[in-house]
Amino acid sequence: MRDILEAVAAGNLSPAAAEAELAGYATGEAGRFDAAREDRSGVPEAVLAAGKTPTEVAALVATALETTGRAIATRLDEESRGAVHEVLDDQHSEASVTDDERVGVLVAHSPEFERPDLDATVGIVTAGTSDAVPAGEAATIAREMGASVTRVDDVGVASLSRVTDQLETLREQDVLVVAAGREGALPTVVAGLVDVPVIGLPVSTGYGYGGEGEAALLGMLQSCTALTVVNVDAGFPAGVQAGLVARQLDDARTPPN
**Separation in Å, CA 124 to CA 71, 73, 185, 212:** 22, 20, 16, 21
Domains located in the chain, CATH noted: 8-109 (no CATH), 121-252 (3.40.50.1970)
- What are 173-191's pLDDT values in tens digits? 999 999 999 999 999 999 9
**How far apart are the C-alpha atoms of 248 and 75, rounded to whole Å?**
28
DSSP assigned state of 116: -
- What are 24-60's pLDDT values in tens digits? 557 777 788 888 888 888 999 999 999 999 999 999 9
**Separation in Å, CA 223 to CA 92, 156, 177, 191:** 47, 16, 15, 9
Span between the terminal Cα atoms of the chain, in Å:
31
Query: Rounded to an integer, what is the distance from CA 223 to the centroid of its chain?
Result: 25
pLDDT value at 241 more than 90: yes
pLDDT value at 22 more than 60: no
**How far apart are the C-alpha atoms of 34 and 64, rounded to whole Å?**
9
3-state SS class at 114? coil
DSSP assigned state of 183: T
Amino acid identity, position 11: G
Q: What pLDDT score does 30 carry? A: 72
For residues 80-106, give the mean pLDDT. 95
3-state SS class at 97? strand
For residues 83-107, give the mean pLDDT. 95
Q: What confidence tier does 133 reach under pLDDT thresholds 50, 70, 90? A: very high
User: pTM here?
Assistant: 0.88
- Listed range (73-82, 204-213, 220-229, 238-247) with the worst mean pLDDT: 204-213
